[in-house]
Amino acid sequence: MEFFRSHVLVCSGVNCSFRGSRSVRAALVEEIRAQGLDKEVRVIETGCFGLCEAGPVMVIYPEAVHYCRVVPDDVKEIVEEHLRKGRIVDRLLYKGEAQVKGVQTWRQIDFYSRQKRVVLRNCGLIDPDSIDEYIAREGYEALGRALRMQPMEVIQAVKDSGLRGRGGAGFPTGLKWDFTARAAGDQKYLICNADEGEPGTFKDRLILEGDPHSVIEGMAIAAYAIGASKGFIYFRGEYKLSIDRLTHALEQARAYGLLGKNIFDSGFSFDIEIKVGAGAYVCGEETALINSMEGKRGEPRFKPPYPASVGLWGKPTCVNNVETLANIPSIIRQGADWFRSIGTAKCPGTKVFTLTGNINNAGLIEVPMGITLREVVYDIGGGIPHGRAFKMAQTGGTSGGCLPEALLDVPMDIDSLATAGSALGSGALMIMDDSHCIIDVVKCFLQFFRHESCGQCTPCREGTQRLYELVDKISRMEATEKDVELIRRLARTMEDASLCALGQTAPFPVLTTMRFFPEEYEAHIVHGMCPAGVCAAASQIA
Amino acid sequence: MKMKSLDELKKLREKAQETIRLREQEEGTKIVVGMGTCGIAAGAREVMLALVDELQKKNLKDVVVTQTGCAGLCEKEPLVDVIRPGEPKITYGYMTAEKARSMVTSHIVNGQVIGEYVIAREDSGD
C-alpha cells in the first residue's frame, strides 16, 4: 500500500465548486507533479467542510492547516512553501473579524471547535468516492450489527434514542418505522426524501455529497427494521453532484455485497434505486413525492391514510429525510444513551443547519439541539459583517418564522422554537441585518409560495396569491388597518383548510413578523414610510 | 469482493484505517524536518523520504512527519526535531538518510535518544 506523508484535502462541495475548487485541485495536482512530490503528497477531493463563506477551502494534513479562499494562483506558493519547505502560507489562513493573526489549524477555529459533528463526522475528512475510507471510519459496522438483531430490536433502539425526523415536522422516527413495520402487506418500501426545496437549505445536498455511504447505510438499517426489500432516494433534479456521488457509492456498496442479496449472509436483501424529481417544492411533502414517483402530478394526497399503511403503489411506505437516516448508523453503533447525551431531553442529538444571509461564517454547521440562536450567530457564525446590527433570523426556511433580537437566546430545538412562534424546520437559518425591510422580505417569501403552490386546494392556491397581493399593498404604502385584519382572517383559513403543510405554513412569515415587528407594519401602513428605506414609496421620500 | 461477515468488514477496516490515520491523529509523536533552503541544500529531502519510508516499513502508526522552515542553525542542517508527548523536544543535527533510519529504530521504536547526533534538548514548557 502506498504511503503519503501529507494529505491535501480540497473541498469539492457545491459551494466551493462554484468558487472554483475544481480548478484549484487540478492546478494542485499539476504543480505537485511538476515539483516531484506526487509520491509523497496525496490530493483528495472531499465533501463540504462547512465554512463555505471562506471557500474554496483546503486542509493540509498532518498539520491540519486550514486555508481559505484558495485560487489557482495560490497553488504554486502552497506547494513550494508548505508542501516542500514546511512553511505555512500565513496570508491564506482563517482570520476572524477581530483577529490580527490567522488561525493555523481547523481544530482551533471557533467555527469548527464549537460544533458537534455526528451526521457530518466524515464530511471534509474522507474521500466521499471511497467506500474504504468510509469503512475506515467504522462504516457499515452498524449495518452488520443491526442484521444480528431482530427488526423490532432495531426499532426499539431508534425509539429509545428519541430521534425525531430532521426534514421539518420532527415526527419520532422510531414510531414511524414501527407503524410501517406493523402495517399489513408483504411488499414494503423505504423512501429517502432528498427533495430539499426550502429556500436557504442545502444540508441534505452536502451530506449526500460529503458522505453518501452514511445515508446508504442508514437506509439499509431502516429497510431491515421495517421489512422493506426495496428503497428509493428521491432527489431534487438540480443535485447533480449528489446524484453522481450517490450513484458511485451504490455501485461500491453492491460490489462489497453491502447492498443486494443476502447482505452479511443474514438472509436480508435490499437495494436502492434513484428517482429524480423535477424541482417542485411541494414534492418534498411525502405524499406529493409518492405521487410524483408513481408518475402522477406532484400533488399531496389526503391523509389519512398515511404512507405507513398506504404509500407507494398502495404499499406500506416509510419516508425519511436524508439527515434522519444519516443519524441511524451512529445510533446503532454507539447506542441510544450516547445519543441522548447530546441535545435536549425532548430533542436528543444534533441538528445540521445551513447558515446563510448577513453572517460572517456562512456555511454548513452541526450543533447540539438546544444551543441558543445567539451562540450560533455570534460564536460559530462570527457575527454580522460590516459592523451592521442583527435584525432577524429566519429559522426553518420560508415556512418557518422570523425571530427578532429579543429572542436571540431561544434554544434551537423543535419544541423551543415552536413555542417561540417559529420552527426548526429543515434547518435553514437565514440571518438578516438592519438594511432589510421586514415587509420586503416577507413579500419575497410570499412570492415563493405563490409560485410553488401546486394549485390542488383552494385555500392554498388562492390564499398564497391574495396574501402576496395584500403584503405587496403594504409595501406600496397603500394598505389600511382593514387589510391587516383581512390578512389575519385569510391566514386562519389557510392554516385550517389547506391540504398540506405548504398552504398551512405559508402565512407563517407574515404572522410572526406582525407579532415581532409591529412597528414596521405600522410605519408602512400608518405613516407611509419604510424605516429601512427599501420599499418603493419610501425611496422617493429619501 | 463480497463481504460475508462483520469479521471480514473488520479486516478491511483495519487496512483502510492506515490510509486515513494521518488525518485523524491529534496526539502522538511528531518528527519535524527543517526544510529551509539551507536544509534542502544539505539533503533534508533525502532525510525526510528516508524517515517516511522507515516509518512505513516498521508500520509505526502514531507518528507523523512534518516540515518546518529554517531554524537559524543552517550550519548543522539537515535538522530533525523529534517531539514525543510528555518528553522534551530533541533536535538532531547533520542528519543523513542512514542516521535518520537508525534514529527511527532507536528513538521512535525503543525510546533511546541517540546522544551522538543530538544538538539541542528543549522542554516544551508545559
> Using 50, 70 and 90 to split pLDDT, how confident is the model at B61?
confident
- For residues A41 and A183, state if they share a domain: no
Size of interface A-B (CB pairs under 8 A): 101
What band does B126 get if pLDDT is binned at 50, 70 and 90? very low
Looking at the complex, report in whole angstroms how far the Cα of residue A255 sits from the nearest Cα belonging to chain B: 6
The mean pLDDT of A529-539, rounded to a whole number, is: 78
Residues A228 and A270 in one domain: yes
Phi, psi of B49 (to 5 degrees): -65, -35
How large is the ipTM? 0.87
pLDDT, tens digit, 9 for 90 and up, residues A360-372: 999 999 999 999 9
Cα–Cα nearest to B62, from B17, B106, B126: B17
**What's the pLDDT tens digit per position in A465-486?**
999 999 999 999 999 999 999 9
Average pLDDT over residues A168-174: 93
**Could you tell me if residue A251 is inside a domain?**
yes
A313 and A371 both lie in a single domain: no
Q: If you average pLDDT over residues A64-70, what whole number do you get?
A: 95
Chain B CB contacts of A265 under 8 Å are 4-5
CB-CB: which of B4, B16, B49 is closest to A264?
B4
Which chain A positions have a beta carbon within 8 Å of B49's beta carbon?
40
Mean pLDDT score across all residues of chain B: 89
Chain B contact set for A9 (CB, 8 A): 23
The answer to whether B13 contacts A125, with C-beta atoms less than 8 Å apart, is no
pLDDT of B77 over the 50 cut: yes
Domain end (from A340, A366, A396): A340
Q: Are A368 and A484 members of one domain?
A: no
Helices (H) and strands (E) in chain B, counts: 4, 5
User: What does the alpha-carbon distance between residue A209 and residue A47 come to, in Å, rounded to a whole number?
Assistant: 6
Lowest mean pLDDT among A93-97, A329-333, A500-504, A505-509: A93-97
Mean pLDDT of A261-278: 96
Of the listed ranges A197-201, A303-307, A392-396, B43-47, the least confidently predicted one is A197-201
Element holding A113 (H helix, E strand): helix A110-113
CA of B114 to nearest chain A CA: how many angstroms apart?
A: 24
Segment A285-312 mean pLDDT: 96
How many CA within 13 A on the CB side of residue B110?
8
User: Looking at residue A475, which CATH number applies to its domain?
Assistant: 1.20.1440.230
Q: What residues have CB less than 8 Å from B83, skipping those under 6 apart? A: B29, B30, B31, B32, B89, B90, B124
Of A136, A256, A265, the CB nearest to B17: A136
> What backbone torsions phi and psi does residue A455 show, to the nearest 5 degrees?
90, 0
Q: What is the pLDDT of residue A124?
A: 92
Please give the grid coordinates belonging to residue B60: 509505526
pLDDT of residue B124: 52
Best mutation target among B9, B27, B68 (most A Cβ atoms within 10 Å) is B9
Same domain assignment for residues A50 and A31: yes
What is the distance between the alpha carbons of residues A233 and A241, in angstroms, rounded to a whole number? 14
Query: Which of B16, B24, B66 lies closest to A135 in CB terms?
Result: B16
* Side-chain-side CA neighbours of residue B97 (13 Å): 9
- H or E stretch including A437? none
pLDDT at A334: 97
The pLDDT value recorded for residue B78 is 95
Contact B13 A264 (CB under 8 A): no
Residues in B touching A40 (Cβ below 8 Å): 49, 52
Q: Domain extents for chain B?
A: 25-122
| Closest-CA distance of chain B to residue A156, Å | 22
Select from 3.40.47.10, 3.40.30.10, 3.40.50.300, 1.10.540.10 the CATH code of B25-122: 3.40.30.10
Instruction: Say if residue A102 is in the same domain as residue A135.
Output: no
Res. A49: pLDDT tops 70: yes
What mean pLDDT is reported for chain A?
Answer: 94
Query: pLDDT at position B19, please?
Result: 85
The secondary structure of B45-87 as a DSSP string is HHHHHHHHHHHHHTT--SEEEEEE---S-GGGPSPEEEE-TTS
pLDDT at B123 over 90: no
pLDDT confidence of residue A542: 43
Residue B5 has its nearest CB partner, among A6, A256, A265, at A265
The residue-averaged pLDDT of B108-120 equals 92
What does each C-alpha distance from A54 to A11, A21, A45, A106, A427 come to in angstroms?
11, 12, 17, 12, 21
Number of structural domains chain A divides into: 4
Give residue-wise pLDDT tens across range A236-250.
888 888 999 999 999
Structural domain boundaries, residue A185 = 131-340
Residue A118 forms part of a structural domain:
no
| Same domain (yes/no): A377, A258 | no
Domain boundary among A389, A412, A433: A433
One domain for residues A206 and A334: yes
pLDDT confidence bin for A1, thresholds 50/70/90: low
Look at B18 and A264 and tell me if their CB atoms are within 8 Å. Answer: no
> Based on the domain organization, do A309 and A160 belong to the same domain?
yes
What pairing do the DSSP bridges indicate for beta strands B29-34 and A271-276?
A: unpaired
For residue A17, the domain's CATH number is 3.40.30.10
Q: Is A6–B35 a contact, with Cβ atoms under 8 angstroms apart?
A: no
Identify the pLDDT of residue B59: 86
pLDDT at B125 over 60: no
Within an 8 Å CB–CB cutoff, is residue A256 touching chain B?
Answer: yes
Please tell me whether residues A141 and A251 are part of one structural domain.
Answer: yes
- Judge whether residue A539 has pLDDT over 50: no
Q: Per-residue pLDDT for B24 more than 90?
A: no
Could you give the CA distance from residue A522 to residue A541 in angstroms, rounded to a whole number?
A: 17
Q: Do A373 and A502 share a domain, yes or no?
A: no
Question: Does residue A12 have a pLDDT over 60?
Answer: yes
- In this prediction, residue A537 has a pLDDT band, given cuts at 50, 70 and 90, of low
B65/A62 CB distance under 8 A: yes
A139 and A230 both lie in a single domain: yes
Q: What is the DSSP letter of A364?
A: E
On whether any CB of chain B is under 8 Å from the CB of A117, the answer is no
